[in-house]
Amino acid sequence: MMRLDSIVEGKKQIGIAGHVRPDGDCVGSTLAVYNYLRTYYPQADVRLYLEPIPNIFRFLHNADEIRNTYMDSVHFDLFIALDCGDTGRMGEAAKFFEEADHTLCIDHHISNQAFAEFNYIDPDASSTCELVFELIDEDRITKEIAECIYTGMVHDTGVFQYSCTSAKTMNIAGILMEKGIDYPKIVDETFYTKTYPQIRILGQALLNSRLYLDGACIVSVLTQEEMKSYGVLPKHLEGIVNQLRVTKGVQIAVFLYENIDHTFKASLRVNDAVNAAEIAVSFGGGGHIKAAGCTMEGTKESVVEQMVAAVAAQLAKGAEPKTAEPEAAEPKTAEPKDTEPKTAKPEAAEPKTAEPKDTEPKTAEPEAAEPKVTEPKGTESKTVEPEEGSKEELGKE
Ligand code: 5GP
Ligand code: MN
């Protein structure tokens, strides 16, 4: 069975990275490994690289030690990629990974092709944090490490709601709760609490939504202009797609926002009968069966049209069931070069009914007008600026 200790042993210069636009699982898993190494390998020089993280995660131990620049001229004995389905997802940190003597990948994306020397990949795991938990001794998990792992699990499972949540996930969460972490606070402050601009842009995104394919597909798009007028950055849009997904009758929710270079970032969430990862991969992205993403080129109208056509084709084809046979549930092992990804695809289920050609929005309303951001009369309204130090995030990843 793979152990983090056996791979780390004897390494002096260790690098860690997660994916661009870090989310809870990415921040939690990278900081969990970072804190573990700082605690038990004090003689090693350990460096963690991430793009600027959302403020809600700054309470995690040693979050202030995360490096946001990639200028270091060090050579790594070992470089660890977490929550990345491919090296491209590492962004600028990919160069460190590619030049390192040894590499380790810990991940749960179905699209992961096991790109490292050592790979610990399990698409059935709720989160990368769950896999980090499995790689280290329970007794060596401090309260600080437990907070990181728990935070990542909460975010990738939608507070233990999504179907990626397993009995194992819950057992691990229970063990972490016994480490003395303030779990209601983590859930409330990192998952549910939203700033006022976030609440307002959520409202705008919901108003912008349109139904397609007889109501099986809901799509909402936010433009740069709208994001600017509400004072929000891409990292503040987390959770919008999940709100779209709970629309009655919808099988797939697509949320798109415009990047500064006028490409569109798409987030896909599916309820049933659609493989989100396949759609995302067809546009050069990736992810999981039920949650995936990609970046698309074209005008607002054309990206919606392309996406709806791809969704229609998926619906017509039918869903790929989530897992292979139950016994295939063992994560990939530690053996170097044992790089068979777990991507067995069972027979497709019954196709659904949507017609590919039906790509017209269901609702009759005209195109959404420019958003009217009216402030309540007679009260001082606060203009909310994007968070300090993160203006670059208005751009692309
Ligand atoms: P989100 O929609 O929250 O950005 O991402 C959903 C899932 O898809 C996450 O697991 C994320 O890592 C993955 N994902 C999102 N965008 C991309 C992308 O552009 N490329 C790849 N390979 N994966 C993505
Ligand atoms: Mn993840």
The number of the ligand nearest the C-alpha atom of 84 reads 1
Give me the residue label for tokens 């500064």: 260
Total domain count, the chain: 2
Hey, what are 347's tokens?
A: 């027979």
Contact 247, 253 (CB under 8 A): yes
Q: Is the pLDDT of residue 349 over 90?
A: no
> Could you tell me if 364 and 246 lie in one domain?
yes
Q: Is the pLDDT of residue 341 over 60?
A: no
CB burial of residue 397 (10 Å; 0-12, 13-18, 19+): middle
Rounded CA gap, 188 and 177, in Å? 15
How far, in Å, is the centroid of ligand 1 from the Cα of 279? 12
Contact 135, 104 (CB under 8 A): no
Q: Is the pLDDT of residue 346 over 70?
A: no
Out of 140, 163, 192, a domain closes at 192
How far, in Å, is the centroid of ligand 1 from the Cα of 376? 37
Domain span at 228: 196-320+351-374
Q: What is the pTM of this model?
A: 0.83
> Could you tell me if 159 and 245 lie in one domain?
no
Contact 314, 274 (CB under 8 A): yes
> Could you tell me if 174 and 267 lie in one domain?
no
DSSP state letter for 58: T
Hey, what are 251's tokens?
A: 């099988």
3-state class (DSSP) for residue 286:
strand
How far, in Å, is the centroid of ligand 1 from the Cα of 292? 5
- List, for residues 189-247, the tens digit of each pLDDT value: 999 999 999 999 999 999 999 999 999 999 999 999 999 999 999 989 999 999 999 99
> Could you tell me if 178 and 222 lie in one domain?
no
Query: Best substitution site from 23, 153, 236, 289 to test ligand 1's pocket, by max atoms within 8 Å of Cβ?
Result: 23
Hey, what are 318's tokens?
A: 């039918």
Question: Of 396, 314, 295, 303, which is closest to residue 356 (Cα–Cα)?
Answer: 314
Contact 296, 266 (CB under 8 A): yes
CB burial of residue 69 (10 Å; 0-12, 13-18, 19+): exposed
Q: Is the pLDDT of residue 283 over 50?
A: yes
> Could you tell me if 183 and 200 lie in one domain?
no
3-state class (DSSP) for residue 106:
strand
24 lines ligand 1 (CB under 6 A): no
Q: What is the mean pLDDT of residues 25-54?
A: 98
> Could you tell me if 58 and 155 lie in one domain?
yes
Q: Is the pLDDT of residue 390 over 70?
A: no
> Could you tell me if 180 and 219 lie in one domain?
no
In a domain, 60, yes or no: yes
19 lines ligand 1 (CB under 6 A): yes
CB atoms near residue 30 (< 10 Å): 31
> Could you tell me if 230 and 152 lie in one domain?
no
> Could you tell me if 15 and 66 lie in one domain?
yes
For the CA of 276, the nearest atom of ligand 1: 8
CB atoms near residue 218 (< 10 Å): 25
Does residue 257 or residue 396 have the better pLDDT?
257
> Could you tell me if 110 and 186 lie in one domain?
yes
- List, for residues 113-168, the tens digit of each pLDDT value: 999 999 999 999 999 999 999 999 999 999 999 999 999 999 999 999 999 999 99
The number of the ligand nearest the C-alpha atom of 26 reads 2
Query: Best substitution site from 20, 26, 89, 288 to test ligand 1's pocket, by max atoms within 8 Å of Cβ?
Result: 89
Confidence of residue 172 (pLDDT cuts 50, 70, 90): very high
Out of 175, 192, 209, a domain closes at 192
Question: Of 90, 82, 84, 78, which is closest to residue 113 (Cα–Cα)?
Answer: 84
CB burial of residue 5 (10 Å; 0-12, 13-18, 19+): middle
